[in-house]
Amino acid sequence: METFGQDLRRSLYRGRDPARAVDIRDLRAMARRRLPALVFEYLEGGAEEELTLRRNRAAYDDIALMPRILRRVGGATLAGDLLGRPAPLPVAVAPTGFNGLLWPQGDIALARAAAAAGLPFTQSTVSNDPLEAVAALPGLRHWMQLYVFQSQAAVEMLLRRAEAAGSEALVLTVDGSVFGNRGWDKRSYRAGTDPTLARKLEMLRHPRWMLDLMRHGTPRFATLAEALPDGKSDMVSAATWLREQTDPDLDWDRVDWLRRHWPRRLILKGLLAPQDVEMAIRHGADAVVLSNHGGRQLDGAPSPIEVLAQAVPIAKGRLKLFVDSGIRRGSDIVKALALGADGVLVGRAALYGLGAAGTPGAGRALHLLQEEAERCAALLGCPSRAELDDSCLFRQPE
């Protein structure tokens, strides 16, 4: 029996030059080498048995492409409209917290890469850099992600600041009212947020990361500093406050309230059920992101790409439809577009680049995704977004 690759001494690039990364896997290997296990586990892990985490990737792997040949594909591009403005690729950077643990001023570093690529950056409520400092970056399309707290004053404060900073969209996370059970992440801590002795010792094997931490200090939740109680501004105390303040009773009435108080685009992130897409339309959303939170919340949930086909006929002509979770290749973006998505949000793929090399690493990740997506579209014989549909996908005969 013929084997492929087993007789080769294959290895991923693990150096420091992001330009040498051939794909996202190299950037992941670079980040794994630079970051302590404690931080990389937070970035990499999922909930409970990690069934959904693995399913997110398997679902894309199971989609086969059907190329058409002898078509003119010179200058293939996926450029076009992305939530009302032109973009070179239908991609936005997803909201992620604790980016300051991956790289000093991690939110600013990641946002700079997004701005250079011409793509929107979604800043998390729990970002480590101030909302205003990120939104003011030249050329950046700034989207603001919102967690709804029990403190109405904190929510109103965030809305006022996002509007004043010029955020073009508010991204309400609707699947985070109850914190997911991330068992492997918990094993990194002895109690609460105190790392185990083994994790503390392992940090010493990452001197570059340790030096950055000593130079810049432990990241804080700068965007939320105004809302935090006195004496709760350090990361540990603030993280505890955040968990206590997250509102478990977030419902459609709160969406209505946000719709009345937010004058720009409103995106709901974290839906999966087709019925909830219909509800999002009724309650005034401009777009939804089909998402299972990267496999970090409800374990056993389907992948967003698996439910996309059911959501498309509901959303068509009524709101924009995005997907996230599991995207590691440009071909994944093409598959999502072929199934009817208006765009995708990328999280871990960009964070691997950030953790590997800051802004240049994140920029390399976004460049690789665009390069791969355009190449995939050309190989499919579909050199533009308008030509991507389910005819580009292989269907097993009945």
Q: Which residues are annotated as a binding site?
A: 42, 95-97, 124, 145, 147, 173, 182, 269, 291, 293, 296, 324-328, 347-348
The type of residue at 359 is T
CA proximity to 207, closest of 13, 26, 33: 33
Distances (CA, A) of 385 to 87, 270, 339: 12, 25, 12
> From the candidates 142, 206, 293, 367, which is the catalytic residue?
293
**Residues 46/294, Cβ–Cβ less than 8 Å:** yes
Q: Which residues are annotated as a binding site for glyoxylate?
A: 42, 147, 182, 293, 296
**Residues 113/366, Cβ–Cβ less than 8 Å:** yes
List, in order, residues 6 or more apart from 9 with CB less than 8 Å away: none
CA proximity to 182, closest of 50, 302, 292, 55: 50
293 catalytic residue (yes or no): yes
List, in order, residues 6 or more apart from 196 with CB less than 8 Å away: 187, 188, 189, 190
Cα end-to-end distance, the chain, whole Å: 30
The Cα 303–Cα 33 span in angstroms is: 29
Q: Which residues are annotated as a binding site for FMN?
A: 95-97, 124, 145, 173, 269, 291, 324-328, 347-348
Catalytic residues: 293
